[in-house]
Amino acid sequence: MSKRVYEIARELNLENKEVIGRLQDAGEDVKSHSSSVEDSVYERVFGSGTNGAANGRSAAQEAEAQEAREAAEKSGHGATIQEAPAEKPVSEPKKGRSQKKRRRVVIDASARNRGARPTAAPAAPREQESAPVAEKEESADAGVRVEPGATVKDLGDALEVPPTRIIQVLMGLGEMKTLTQTLSIEEIELIAEELGVKVEIGAVEEPAPEEVLPDDDPADLEEKPPVVTVMGHVDHGKTSLLDRIRHENVQSGEAGGITQHIGAYQVESDGRKVTFIDTPGHEAFTEMRARGAKVTDVVVLVVAADDGIMPQTQEAIEHAQAAGVPMVVALNKIDVPNANQDRVLGELSERGLMPEAYGGETVTVPVSAKTGEGIDELLENILVVAELEDLKANPHAPASGYVVEGERDPGRGPVATLLLSRGTLNKGDVVLAGTAYGRVRAMLDYTGKRVKDAGPGTPVEILGLSGVPEAGTRFEVVDHERLARDRAQQAEEKLRRQELAQGGSRRSLEDLLGEGGMQDLNLVIKADVAGSVEALKEALAKLSTDEVRVNIVRSGVGALTDSDVMLGSASDGILLGFNVRPTNTAKQVAEREGVEIRTYDVIYKALEEIESAMRGMLAPEEREQETGTAEVRQTFRVPNAGVVAGCMVTSGEIFRNNRVRLVRDGTVVYEGNIASLRRFKDDARSVREGFECGIGIENFDDVKEGDVLEFFEIIEVPR
Is the residue at 208 inside a domain? Answer: no
Mean pLDDT of the region 60-89: 46
pLDDT at 428: 92
Helix or strand or coil: residue 276? strand
Report the CATH number that the domain containing residue 631 is assigned in CATH: 2.40.30.10
pLDDT of residue 385: 86
Q: What is the pLDDT of residues 17-45, one digit of tens each?
A: 888 888 888 888 877 777 888 888 888 88
Q: Is residue 209 part of a domain?
A: no
Least confident piece of the model among 271-280, 364-373, 468-477: 271-280
Domain's final residue, options 201, 233, 248: 201
State the average pLDDT over residues 138-155.
68
Tell whether 492 and 526 lie within a shared domain.
Answer: no
Query: Region 483-501: what's the mean pLDDT?
Result: 78
Structural domains counted in the chain:
5
Q: Are residues 580 and 676 in the same domain?
A: no
Average pLDDT of span 302-322: 80
Residue 481 covered by a domain = yes
Identify the pLDDT of residue 45: 83
Shared domain for 452 and 519, answered yes or no, is: no
pLDDT band at 441, cuts 50/70/90? very high
Indicate if 372 and 262 belong to the same structural domain: yes
Of the given ranges (42-46, 648-652, 659-663, 668-672), which has the lowest mean pLDDT? 42-46
Q: Which residue has the higher pLDDT, 552 or 95?
A: 552
Q: CA gyration radius for the chain?
A: 33
248 shares its domain with 283 = yes
User: Given this model, what pLDDT does residue 56 score?
Assistant: 39
Q: Is the separation of the CB atoms in 654 and 680 below 8 Å? A: no
Residue 437 has pLDDT above 90, yes or no: yes
Q: Find all residues with CB under 8 Å of 154, minimum gap 6, and list them.
A: 146, 147
Residue 545: its pLDDT value, please? 73
Q: Which residues are annotated as a binding site for GTP?
A: 232-239, 278-282, 332-335
Q: Residue 126 pLDDT more than 50?
A: no
The pLDDT assigned to 694 comes to 94
Residue 366 and residue 241 in one domain: yes
Average pLDDT, stretch 459-466?
91
Q: Among the three residues 618, 650, 685, which one is the final residue of a domain in this structure?
A: 618
Give domain status of residue 214, yes or no: no
In a domain, 207, yes or no: no
Between CA 245 and CA 232 the distance in angstroms is 17
The domain in which residue 652 lies consists of 623-717
The reply to whether 321 and 455 lie within a common domain is: no
pLDDT tens column, 553-612: 888 888 898 888 888 887 778 899 988 889 888 888 888 888 889 898 888 888 888 877
Answer whether residue 96 is part of any domain. yes
CATH number, position 384: 3.40.50.300
Among residues 150, 167, 201, the one where a domain terminates is 201
343 lies in the same domain as 480? no
276 and 378 both lie in a single domain: yes
What number of residues does the chain have?
719
- 627 pLDDT higher than 90: yes
**Residue 537 sits in the same domain as residue 554:** yes
On the question of pLDDT at 709 being above 90, the answer is yes
Please give the pLDDT value at position 693: 94
Detail the residues annotated as belonging to a binding site: 232-239, 278-282, 332-335
Q: What is the pLDDT of residue 707?
A: 94
Please tell me what DSSP assigns to residue 225: P
Q: Which distant-in-sequence residues (6+ apart) come within 8 Å of 160 by Cβ?
A: 132, 136
Mean pLDDT of all residues belonging to the chain:
75
The candidate with the shortest Cα–Cα distance to 509, out of 554, 589, 568, 582, is 568
Return the higher-pLDDT residue of 113 and 662: 662
pLDDT per position as a tens digit, 505-530: 444 444 444 444 456 778 889 988 87
More confident residue, 151 or 91: 151
Count Cβ atoms below 10 Å from residue 463 Cβ, excluding itself.
17
Q: What's the pLDDT at 477? A: 93
The answer to whether residues 523 and 507 touch, using CB atoms and an 8 Å cutoff, is no
Q: What kind and span of H or E run contains 463?
A: strand 459-463
**Are the CB atoms for 474 and 432 separated by under 8 Å?**
no
| 123 falls within a domain | yes
Average pLDDT value for residue range 84-99: 41
Closest listed residue to residue 263, CA positions, set 245, 379, 48, 283: 245
In a shared domain, residues 388 and 414: no
Tell whether the model's pLDDT for residue 324 goes beyond 70: yes
Same domain, 13 and 158: yes
Q: Which residue has the higher pLDDT, 360 or 676?
A: 676
Express each pLDDT in 341-378 by its tens digit: 888 888 888 888 888 888 888 888 888 888 888 888 88
pTM: 0.50
- For CA atoms 612, 613, 619, 621, the dihedral sign is positive
Residue 600 lies in a domain: yes
Q: In a 3-state reduction of DSSP, which class is residue 277?
A: strand
The pLDDT value recorded for residue 618 is 44
